[in-house]
Amino acid sequence: MNVLRTIALILSLGFLSSILFYKIRELRNLSIIASLSVALGFVIKFFGIYTGIKRAFSYKDLFYFKFDAFSNFFVVLILGVGLLAILASWNYMKEKKGETFFYVFFMLTILGMVGLVYSRDMLSFFIGWEVMTMGSFLVILQSNEKDRFKFALRYFIISLIGAYSLLWSMFIIYNKVHSFKFSAFNSSVFTKGELTTLLITISIGFLIKAAIMPFHTWASGAYSRSPLTFTAFFSGAMSKMGIYGLFIFLYGSIGLSAIYKTGYNEFFQTSYFQYTLVWLGVITAFLGTLRAILSEDIRVMLAYSSVGQLGYMLIGIGLGSTLGLTATLFHVVTHGLFKTSLFIVVAAIIHRTGKTKFHELGGLINNMPIAFIATLISIITLAGIPPLGGFATKWLLYEAMIEKRMFFATAITMLASIGAFLYAYRLIQNLFLGQRKLEHDDVKPAPLTMQIAMLIPALGMVFLGFFPNLLIKYTNLFIELINIDFFKLGVKVTDTAFTNSYGYWNAFYLGSAVVIIFIVSTIYYNLQRRAKIYKIGQLDIYTAGEYVTRETPLNYSFNFYGFIFDSLKPAIKYSVTNFITRISKEFIALSDFVRRIYTGNGQHYAIFTMIFTIITLIYFLS
């Protein structure tokens, strides 16, 4: 039996049942969840085992699919995050407008993504890519936001530009090598200029999907206006497709030596193209973080956070070394985990309170303890604080950048990750801590399915913090698979200790030390004679004479980092979004001008005919 056909069959059944039972909530959701989990189990079971099972599938030499560790890594992410998101949607989307079609299009998106990840030729890749874009566009439309169409449209149009940039390069390649297969790419038939153009157009296609600056303008709107459980998937799994695409096109198909042909820099031991990618990633990481710090809407903040985090992944891709790619893949997983968790937490909060701004919330820790724990773990991972999983990415990435001697880039990236700490703190402070609003006294905990969906990734993050080597084992497995031309520099992984030529870090020892110290401190703290503890309310505080009541709680949350905003005011008014908006306005003005060619006057049309006649005659008779 062909393992790919089986997976396709299972997922298609899930898709069909989402259509057939679109009105019967329990049956529909259960069948989708069953289909996704069976597929997931199937992929995990055969993750690295190939014997006895056909693992490639092709049709008429046009469509070619392959089942290997490289694809499985991403498929596990897609199905896993998809499963969590659908689980969370069970309660989140319940009795909301658009509930019925939400699942249909969600499954369509997943189908497209799984298809594109398993594909080993550009044509099926593109088909999967477009199905994914279309599916996600349609899912965004199922939300209840008033302005969803505006942002969905922006997302779709920009995605379309990216996709067509990709399509164009596909045809350029096809025209020369006469095959759509990734493996058929042959750099010797291209000139240096053609290769450079190809690299640029291909990257634009993927950078748009990954929302890398300056192609990020769709991200904040699309992420924040989707149904939020879908955003968890959107940001947690779908944005990674841009990264996957870069992986397979740049390193799996075109190959490092061909990229080097376009211009190699001895000092940075990399090509100028890759160097540009790194800096794009650095700028995205930094500016995305800055925008996130200054956001007042939770969803927008998480959206910009995603933009920033994708920047880190791009840096790893741009470095192109084993260490860099490992960092990227590691971050793909950790970001998938914490963003899924965070978006589901935010979905739960918005679901329960209906508030989307930081300053409208606060003090929910006692109402939503599970959500608080999930958020805490997630932001520790997000900020990359050891001993949780996020630090592994940071360490790998910085070591990889230092290894390539990109010190300036490293410095800015590190600053960006400090910035991540700033906005991450708002998530916990302005949502869960501080003084609770009177109207939120009766807020119930997050619904059960959402609690499950937010806790599972949190466990994953803790696990990865102590045993990052287990994931590294898999990333190494498929970095070999996509045939990177060189293995000169690498990270040595012995158990949980990471070593490279610059530094070292032992995750397990460090994590254990932290845990032991924590336990010792707690014991020490509690060893002292137990004193009577008075729990006092949040109104019994030092207020410097201010009179605080439940009706007027004192919270510091609006314009939290106003200092930064004030300091950077002159720079902040310039934004790519404004620039793009202006360009599109100008273009519409142009279209209005072009439209006036059709004056509606018959005589003008006759004159056009005459002019055309003259031009034609001149052209043909000369």
Partner 1 sequence: MVDYAILLIALPLFAAFLIPLVAMVNKNWPKYIPILVTAFNSVLSINLLLYLNAHNGTPFIVKIGGFIPPFGINLFIGYLAIILLMLISFVGLMISLYTINTVKDAESRYYMLFILLLMGVTGLVITGDLFNMFVFLEITSISAYSLTAYKRDGLSLEASMKYILIGSLASVFVLIGIGVIYYSTHTLNIADISNHINTVPKYIKMFSLSMLLIGLAIEAELFPVNGWVPDVYQASPTPVTTIFSSIVVKATIYVFFRVLFTVFRADLTVMNFVMGLGVITLLIGEISALKQVNIKRMLAYSSIGQVGLIVIAISSYSSMGVAGGIYQMINHAIFKGILFLGTAYMITSVSGTGKISDLKGIAQKMPISSFIVSFSIIALLGVPPLTGFWAKMMILSSVMSSGHQIIVALILFATVVEAVYYLKFIAVIYDSSEITNSFKSTIKFNKIVPIVLFALTIILFSVVPQFLVKFQDVLLKAANELTNVSSYISIVLGS
Partner 2 sequence: MSTDSMYRLLVTIAVILGSIIYGFFINSLARRITARVQNRMGPPLKQPFIDVIKLYSKRTFVTHGIMQTLGPILMLTGIISTLILIPYGKGYLTLYSSNGDLITILYIMTFGQLAMALAVGQAGNPYGTIGVARGLTRMFGYELPLILALISLIALNHSADVNVIIANQHGGIANWNAFRHPFVGITALLAMLGMMSYQPFDNASAPAEVASGPITEFGGKFMAIMMTTNAMFVVAKLALLVDLFFGGASNIFILALKIFLLYLYPLFVGLVFPRFAMEDTFLFFWKWPTLIGFIGLAIAIF
User: By the criterion CB under 8 A, which residues form the site for partner 1?
Assistant: 59-60, 97, 123, 126-127, 130-131, 134, 141, 149, 153, 156-157, 160-161, 164, 167-168, 171-172, 174-175, 588, 590-592, 594-595, 597-600, 602, 604-606, 608-609, 611-613, 616-617, 619-621
- CB of 113 closer than 8 Å to CB of 241: yes
Q: How far is the CB of 458 from partner 1 (least distance, A)?
A: 36
Count of beta carbons in the 10 Å neighbourhood of residue 550: 13
Which of partner 2, partner 1, none interacts with 157 (beta carbon under 5 to 8 A by kind)? partner 1
Q: Which is nearer to partner 1, 227 or 316 (CB)?
A: 227
Q: Which is nearer to partner 2, 99 or 399 (CB)?
A: 399
Q: How far is the CB of 115 from partner 2 (least distance, A)?
A: 39
Place of tokens 């160097």: 275
Q: How far is the CB of 537 from partner 2 (least distance, A)?
A: 8
Which of partner 1, partner 2, none interacts with 487 (beta carbon under 5 to 8 A by kind)? none
Which of partner 1, partner 2, none interacts with 527 (beta carbon under 5 to 8 A by kind)? none
Which of partner 1, partner 2, none interacts with 612 (beta carbon under 5 to 8 A by kind)? partner 1
- Point out which residues pair with 99 in neighbouring strands: none
Q: How far is the CB of 419 from partner 2 (least distance, A)?
A: 6
Orientation of helix 69-92 relative to helix 468-481, angle to 10°:
130
Q: Which is nearer to partner 1, 127 or 564 (CB)?
A: 127
Helix (H) or strand (E) holding 594: helix 576-595
Which of partner 1, partner 2, none interacts with 405 (beta carbon under 5 to 8 A by kind)? partner 2
The b/e string for 177-207 (b: 16+ C-beta within 10 A; e otherwise) is bebbbbeebebeebeeeebbbbbebbbbbbb
| Rounded Cα–Cα distance for residues 234 and 155 (Å) | 12
- CB of 345 closer than 8 Å to CB of 352: no
Q: How far is the CB of 294 from partner 2 (least distance, A)?
A: 12
Q: How far is the CB of 273 from partner 2 (least distance, A)?
A: 21
Which of partner 2, partner 1, none interacts with 296 (beta carbon under 5 to 8 A by kind)? none
Q: Tokens at residue 529, please? A: 């004679």
Q: Which is nearer to partner 2, 104 or 290 (CB)?
A: 290
Q: Which is nearer to partner 2, 59 or 524 (CB)?
A: 524
H-only helix segments in 93-121: 99-118
Which of partner 1, partner 2, none interacts with 525 (beta carbon under 5 to 8 A by kind)? partner 2
Show Cβ contacts of residue 552 under 8 Å, excluding neighbours closer than 6 positions. Answer: none
Residue 538 carries which side chain, given as an amino acid letter?
Q
Residue 309 carries which side chain, given as an amino acid letter?
Q
Q: Which is nearer to partner 2, 5 or 405 (CB)?
A: 405
Q: Which is nearer to partner 1, 147 or 566 (CB)?
A: 147
Show Cβ contacts of residue 243 under 8 Å, excluding neighbours closer than 6 positions. Answer: 206, 210, 310, 313, 314, 317, 328, 332
Q: How far is the CB of 320 from partner 1 (least distance, A)?
A: 27
Residue 603 carries which side chain, given as an amino acid letter?
Q
| Rounded Cα–Cα distance for residues 459 and 79 (Å) | 17
